[in-house]
Structure 1
Amino acid sequence: MKYASIGPISIYLPERIETNQQLQDEFPAWDMDLIQTKTGIASRHIAAPDECASDLGVRAAERLFEEHNVDPQSIDFLLFCTQTPDYPLPTTACLMQQRLGLRVSCGALDFNLGCSGFIYGLSLAEGLIRAGVAKRVLFITAETYSKYIDADDRSLRTIFGDGAAATLIDASSEPTLDGFQFGTDGSGADTLMVADGGARPEKDALTPRHRKRWGSRLYMDGPALINFTVGAIPQLVKNIFSAAGIPNSEVELYLFHQATRKMLEQLQESLGVDSERMPIALENVGNTVSATIPLLIHGLRKEGRLQKGARHLLVGFGVGWSWGGCVWHDQYGSGA
C-alpha cells in the first residue's frame, strides 16, 4: 500500500503589491489602522488585468519544476483548486496540462472549493495514490478574488489577495496524512458568494443573506462566517484527533486557513492554543483563499520552523460552508 506525502512547495505571487498606505491615500475616510488591527493584513498581491488563476498556477508549477528538479513528465495527475477559473469550460486544468508540458496520459481535474480546498485536495491525492492510479500528483491552488471586487469595496479589498502554490505529492511507503474529517452546511452558502457567471437565471439566483452594501460581484457576511467558524472548528479538531488516535499534545503546530487575524485569534482562544502553536502569516499576502495553507507551509519551511518527522494539524474552513482537516506527519521538513 502506498500513501500520499506532501513534498516541496513553490509559490507565485503577482508583481503588483497593494499596500494599506496606498488604500489610505486613495480613500482618506478609511481607517486603515483599525482595519489592519482587525485583519492583520498590511499589503496584498493583486493580479494584473490580463493575469488569471491559471497564469499564477502555471508560474508556481514552473518554479516547482525548476527549484526542486522535478521532471514534468513524471506527473501522473494534476489537481487544480480554484474559485476563479479562466472559463466556465473547458476545465482549466486541461489548459494547464498543455502549458506545463505534462504527459497526455496525465489526468487533470478542476475542483471548485475555496478556503477548505487544500484539505480536500490532499484527500483526493491520497485516494489516487492509495488506489494505485497515480504515484506523483501535482496539486495547484490559485486564486484571483480581486477580479470579483470593486475598487471602493472597503470590506473586501482590504482582505483578499491573489496568489498560487504548487505542491508536489509523492507516494510514500508510510502514511503521512491521518484523521481526515470534513463538514458541509449549504445553509451558509449565502454568506460568501458570487451569484453571476453561472447557468442559473438571475431571477432564480442565490441572494446575499443581508443587504449588499458594496457593488462587488463578491459578497461576504463577515460576522456570520466568524460565528460559523468558531462554532464548527473546535468540534472538527476534536474529531480529527479522535480519528487519528492521538492527543493534541503530539501535534506541534496548528496550521489553519489564514482568513483574518481576528478570526484566527478567536480560534486560538476557543481551542486554548497559544500563538506560537497557531502561526498567523498573512500580513504581506492577505487572505489568498485556497492557497493560504500551502503559502503558510512554504513560509514556515523557509524560516526553518518545520522539523522533519513532526506532526501538525491542517485545517481549512469557509465558503460553502465547507470545512475539513487532518493530521500531517511531515516527512520533508524545512531543510530538505
Structure 2
Amino acid sequence: MSAKEAYIKAISYYLPENIVTNEDLVKEFPEWTVEKVAGKVGIDSRHIASENETAGDMAEKAALNLFSECNIDPTSVDFVLLCTQSPDYFLPTTACILQNRLGIPTSSGAIDYNLGCSGYVYGLGLAKGLVLGGIAKNVLLLTSETYSKHIHPKDKGNRTIFGDGATATIISTEGYARIGEFSLGTDGSGAENLIVKTGGMKHSSPLGDINIDENGAIQSSDNLYMNGSEIFSFTQDNVPPLIDDTLQKNNLSKSDVDLFVFHQANKYMLNFLRKKMKIDEDKFFYCLSEFGNTVSSTIPIALKEALKGNHIKDGNKVVIAGFGVGYSWGGCTLYY
C-alpha cells in the first residue's frame, strides 16, 4: 500500500578534517586580504577532502554518522540515492558500493544522480516519489561533493568559495518534517557557464589549456570553470520566480513562511536575493562561514544547523531552494 505522505526523519553530515582558512589562502594569494575574502563571500574557512578521500568515502562517513546519531538501523534502508558530480568511478555506481559498505540489504535499490547545487531538492523529490509510490519505505539520500578536486590550485576565486562535505538524510513514511510540493526547472542553454569540460566521453583526455582572464582568474578545460557574472544573472532571474511558484504550489504566502533556507552559494548572492525578494533577515538563514559552498550539501547542513540552533521549531513552515549548475533549480516546502 502506498504512503500518503513522505517525511524527513533524520539528517547528519560529515566534513573532512583538513580546514583551509582565509589566512591560509592569503598566504598563497598575498594580493588579497582576510577581510576582503570574508567580506565578499561570507566564508571564513572551508573543509577540503584529503588527496585519497573520495565522495564515496565522505558519503559513507555521513551515513555512519546518521546511523549512530539518530539511531537508524542500516537494515531498515530500502533505497540509496547519491547525488554527486565527483563519483568514485565512471562505473560502477558509487551508491551500489555504498550499499555494500554500509550493510544495507541487497533487496534495496541504489542509484547515483549527477546534479549540483539544486541536487538536494531534487533528491527529496525523487525520494518522496519512491515513498508515495510504495517502492520504498526508508530512502537514504546522500549528497557528497569534492569540488576541490575539480578546481585549479591557482584559481583563487573558486578556492575561496567551495568546500567539500557530505550529508545523509532519511526520507520515510514518518518523521519530523513533512515534504510538501515542489517547483523544479532546467535551462541547459547555460551549461557552459559552470562546467568541467574534460574527463567525460566528449573530451576524455586532458586538454592542458590554461588561460588567464582580465581579472586574473584561471580558466582551464581540465578544471572547474564558473562564469560568475552569468551565474549571478541566472540566479537573480530565476530564483525569485522559483520562490513564488513554490509558495503558490503549497498555497502559501511569503508571510506564512517561518524560515527560508537557500543554497549557500556565497553571502553576497544570498543578500542580494533576500533584498530583491523582500524577505526579512530574521526569516533568512545563513550557514556558510565555517563550511563554504558545499554544493548539494549546503541545504541539508543548513537545515541540521538551523534545528540545532532552534531556528526551526515545531509547527514551522520552511521553504528550501537550490539553484546552479545545469542550469537547474528547485524549491519545496517542509512542514515541521
1:194 Cα deviation after fit: 0.6
Aligned-partner residue type, residue 218 of structure 2:
R
CA distance in 2, matches of 1:66, 1:24: 38
CA distance in 2, matches of 1:317, 1:188: 12
Among all aligned residue pairs of Structure 1 and Structure 2, give the percentage whose two residues are the same amino acid: 46
Q: Does 1:302 align with 2:304?
A: no
1:213 Cα deviation after fit: 3.0
CA distance in 2, matches of 1:291, 1:76: 22
Q: Does 1:214 align with 2:219?
A: yes
TM alignment of 1:166-205, pairs within 5 A: 166-172=168-174, 176-201=178-203
Instruction: Note if contact 1:41-1:283 (Cα within 8 Å) is conserved in structure 2.
Output: yes
Q: 1:315 aligns with which of 295, 315, 321?
A: 321
Number of the residue aligned with 1:334: none
SS at match of 2:128: helix
Instruction: Note if contact 1:2-1:173 (Cα within 8 Å) is conserved in structure 2.
Output: no
Q: Relative to structure 1, is the Cα distance of residues 3 and 94 closer, same or farther in structure 2, using a 3 angstrom cutoff?
A: same
Give per-residue Cα distances to partners, 1:188-221, cap 9 Å, x unaligned.
1011101111111469x9x99x967334610001
Instruction: Note if contact 1:10-1:60 (Cα within 8 Å) is conserved in structure 2.
Output: yes
TM alignment of 1:1-336, pairs within 5 A: 1-172=3-174, 176-201=178-203, 213-215=218-220, 217-330=223-336
CA distance in 2, matches of 1:284, 1:175: 25
SS at match of 1:151: coil
Aligned-partner residue type, residue 168 of structure 1:
I
Instruction: Note if contact 2:144-2:296 (Cα within 8 Å) is conserved in structure 1.
Output: yes
Give per-residue Cα distances to partners, 1:40-79, cap 9 Å, x unaligned.
0010000000000011110010011111111110001001
TM-score normalised to the size of structure 2? 0.93
1:327 Cα deviation after fit: 1.0
Instruction: Note if contact 2:19-2:45 (Cα within 8 Å) is conserved in structure 1.
Output: yes
SS at match of 2:8: strand
SS at match of 2:43: coil
Q: Structure 1 unaligned runs (5+)?
A: 331-336
Instruction: Note if contact 2:259-2:318 (Cα within 8 Å) is conserved in structure 1.
Output: yes
SS at match of 1:8: strand
SS at match of 1:226: helix
1:175 Cα deviation after fit: 9.0
Aligned-partner residue type, residue 88 of structure 1:
F
Aligned-partner residue type, residue 284 of structure 2:
M
TM-score normalised to the size of structure 1? 0.93
Aligned-partner residue type, residue 122 of structure 2:
Y
Give per-residue Cα distances to partners, 1:287-317, cap 9 Å, x unaligned.
0000000000111111122112211101000
1:250 Cα deviation after fit: 1.3
1:7 Cα deviation after fit: 1.6
SS at match of 2:297: helix
| Superposition RMSD in Å | 2.0
Give per-residue Cα distances to partners, 1:123-157, cap 9 Å, x unaligned.
00110001101111111111000001122211110
Give per-residue Cα distances to partners, 1:7-28, cap 9 Å, x unaligned.
2111100000000001112221
Give per-residue Cα distances to partners, 1:219-271, cap 9 Å, x unaligned.
00111111111111111111111111121211100110000001100100110
